[in-house]
């Protein structure tokens, strides 16, 4: 089983590398003011970028399904770990909800360069909340890494 997963990981990394190289090599430098004209003239190839986005969505879906499956499998193997999983889920939901409320309290607007206007309020709140959640997760990862290093050194 481990060897199959190892080969799937190598194949996914190779596919990612090929798609990124395709997008980089087929997309010229883009001038923001003329992007619409460049798309109409066929200078910019949106197909390579679209395939990269689809691949990213597929990888994200596989990661989410894998994480959920691993959590359920672990709970089935060790029923005593259910409480830890529930606490983790509550913490994640709390972080997302708090970030949403903090983001909805902000009044700034994000510029939409393509349409030369501003994004609507829901898109701005989602973006801001996503950034706040990313900051909290990154901070938690740094704290966990420091804690792990210190606890290993003290053992």
Tell me what pLDDT residue 8 has: 87
Tell me what pLDDT residue 149 has: 94
Can you tell me which residue has the tokens 């972080």? Answer: 95
- Find all residues with CB under 8 Å of 20, minimum gap 6, and list them: 52
DSSP secondary structure of 15-38: HHHHHHHHHHHH-----GGGHHHH
Tell me what pLDDT residue 30 has: 61
CA distances from 88 to 42, 69, 81, 91 (A): 49, 15, 11, 5
Predicted model pTM:
0.55
Q: Over the chain (155 residues), what is each successive 10-residue block's mean pLDDT? A: 83 91 74 61 67 91 90 85 85 94 85 82 88 95 95 89
């Amino acid at each position: 089983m481990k060897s199959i997963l190892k080969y799937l990981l190598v194949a996914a990394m190779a596919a990612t590398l090929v798609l990124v190289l395709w997008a980089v090599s087929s997309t010229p430098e883009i001038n923001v003011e003329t992007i619409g004209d460049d798309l109409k003239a066929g200078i910019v190839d949106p197909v390579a970028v679209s395939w990269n986005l689809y691949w990213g969505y597929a990888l994200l879906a596989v990661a989410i399904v894998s994480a959920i499956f691993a959590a359920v499998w672990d709970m089935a193997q060790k029923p005593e770990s259910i409480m830890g999983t529930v606490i983790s889920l509550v913490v994640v939901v709390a972080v997302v909800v708090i970030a949403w409320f903090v983001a909805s309290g902000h009044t700034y607007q994000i510029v939409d360069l393509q349409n030369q206007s501003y994004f609507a309020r829901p898109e701005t709140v989602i973006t801001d909340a996503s950034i706040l959640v990313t900051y909290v997760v990154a901070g938690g990862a740094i704290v966990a890494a420091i804690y792990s290093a210190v606890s290993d050194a003290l053992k």
